[in-house]
Amino acid sequence: MIAGSKIQSFLTGKALGLILINFLLTLRMLAAEEPYLNELKGNRVAPDSFFTVADEKFGSSAWSQIQQNISVDNIISFEINFDTSIFFYNTPFTCTINFDIDVYNNPSDTSAFTTIEDISLFVRYDTVTGKPYKGIALYKFVGYHKFKVRINTVTSTELSPMLPIFRLKGQVIVNRKYNFQDNSTDVTRYTIANGNQLKLEWTPSNYPGAEMFDLEYTHIDKNSQVAASINGYESGGNYSVPVDSLIKWLKNNNTRITTAASNYLINIPYDSGFILFRIRGVQIHFPDDVRWEGNWNYYARLSSASSCTPPSCPSGVVFFAGHEQNLNWQFSVVFAEEGKRKEVISYFDGSLRNRQSVTLNNTDNRNIVQETIYDALGRPSLNILPSPTKDSTIHYFRGFNKNKEGAPLAFPIYYITVQLLPTH
């Protein structure tokens, strides 16, 4: 590949351009749904057996952190347990269970309860091919963060003795909002992977009430005046930059993704310079659906470094060497919801001919590489179909397509010998 020094004179840092198309979809995320479950099965589904299902926040100190319990759904299911080694498929039967429910709904006195009595559910199994049967029965009620199920009877006229093939399950499903706090005590951890990737991790519980997170990042060229200012705040490989400066440098010059995850991996196809990043918690407020945004958190440390406490922690500033500095390249990225993205980088020779294109999406995390081979006059002589790789980092793949001798594929590719046949 030709470096193309004359071409580079009008390019920014050897790159043909950086096209950033951000199609971030606004992700409407409602309250957090928290399911709690308990069950009895097999021989435990018998008279006088019981189990309790409880919201873990009910009656605990965490109850005060709740802004609003939007809904509390309670479900009890009686079902045939097909996940068993016991053979029962040659006998049609009906089985009925009767139970009482003790319900609790006073977080100040978790011992106080009332009883819902004499609830019956039944299941039916049939051996006739194609005939429907009732393998599960449900009892639903609402509004209780804790309940206890006490079995009175389990009866079946066809099954004698009773086979341990049933399951009784209880669920509490809470849809709630937590009190939202603007500030966070979290320190983002980062790891530099493969020399050209930045992995960020944060702790959601350190962003009280947040249902999702905004992550913003930007690149600062090492030859810029901003980079010179950043270097002045360096100490031991860390950068402690004043927050007002970071706010100014990130304003109107960043990429933002919104995710409910607690980590994000950023590829770094840029010239030499700094990556600046910040994170904040976000909540969709109930009941007006207004987007509440916390204050930006700028503190970060290397994952392998010792823990620190703000404000004595470094800033979210990381230096990277330039991407493929001896090559010409063009990078583009398209974003979707939850930080999903597709990145395409094309590598060019000195005459602006596309030699190789690499495509990577962060869902599959597998590169797809396509190459074009040119003849001595610069004409495309072979367009090679895109091929997936096991590599998940963006870079130029040297010697990706090879000839039968194992050398990188190049012109001339093949020769054709034509034998003229006699005409008469």
pLDDT over 90 (residue 8)? no
Q: Of 385, 384, 343, which is closest to residue 364 (Cα–Cα)? A: 343
Residue 152 and residue 222 share a domain: no
Which pLDDT band, with edges at 50, 70 and 90, does 22 fall under? very low
Residue 206 and residue 173 share a domain: no
pLDDT given at position 4: 34
End-to-end CA distance of the chain: 50
Total tally of structural domains belonging to the chain: 2
| Domain-embedded: residue 361 | no
Residues 284-296 have a mean pLDDT of 94
pLDDT given at position 23: 33
In the sheet where 368-374 sits, what is the strand order? 15-21, 328-335, 341-348, 354-361, 368-374, 380-388
Pairing, β 166-178 against β 146-155: unpaired
Residue 37 and residue 142 share a domain: yes
Residue 220 and residue 104 share a domain: no
Domain assignment of residue 252, given as a range: 180-320
pLDDT given at position 418: 55
pLDDT given at position 306: 93
Q: Which of 320, 343, 363 corresponds to the end of one domain?
A: 320
Residue 196 and residue 147 share a domain: no
pLDDT given at position 413: 58
pLDDT over 60 (residue 28)? no
Q: Of 163, 155, 159, which is closest to residue 84 (Cα–Cα)? A: 163
The residue type found at 184 is: S
3-state secondary structure 48-105: CCEEEEECCCCCCHHHHHEEEEEEEEEEEEEEECCCCCCCCCCCCEEEEEEEEEEEEC
Which pLDDT band, with edges at 50, 70 and 90, does 110 fall under? confident
Q: What is the dihedral of CA 417, 421, 422, 424, to 10 degrees?
A: -160
Q: What percent of the chain has pLDDT over 90?
A: 80
**Per-residue pLDDT reduced to its tens digit, 309-330:** 999 999 999 999 999 999 999 9
Burial label for 291, CB within 10 Å (0-12, 13-18, 19+), is middle
3-state secondary structure 158-177: CCCCCCCCEEEEEEEEEEEE
pLDDT over 50 (residue 11)? no
Q: Of 188, 209, 211, which is closest to residue 266 (Cα–Cα)? A: 188
pLDDT over 90 (residue 82)? yes
Cβ neighbours around 368 below 10 Å, total: 16
Q: Which of 146, 178, 210 corresponds to the end of one domain?
A: 178
Q: Which of 1-5, 46-50, 160-164, 400-404 has the highest mean pLDDT?
A: 46-50
| Domain-embedded: residue 373 | no
pLDDT over 60 (residue 263)? yes
Which pLDDT band, with edges at 50, 70 and 90, does 24 fall under? very low
Residue 224 and residue 192 share a domain: yes
Q: What percent of the chain has pLDDT over 70?
A: 90
**Per-residue pLDDT reduced to its tens digit, 148-187:** 999 999 999 999 899 999 999 999 999 999 999 999 999 9
- Token match 């199920």: residue? 149
pLDDT over 60 (residue 25)? no
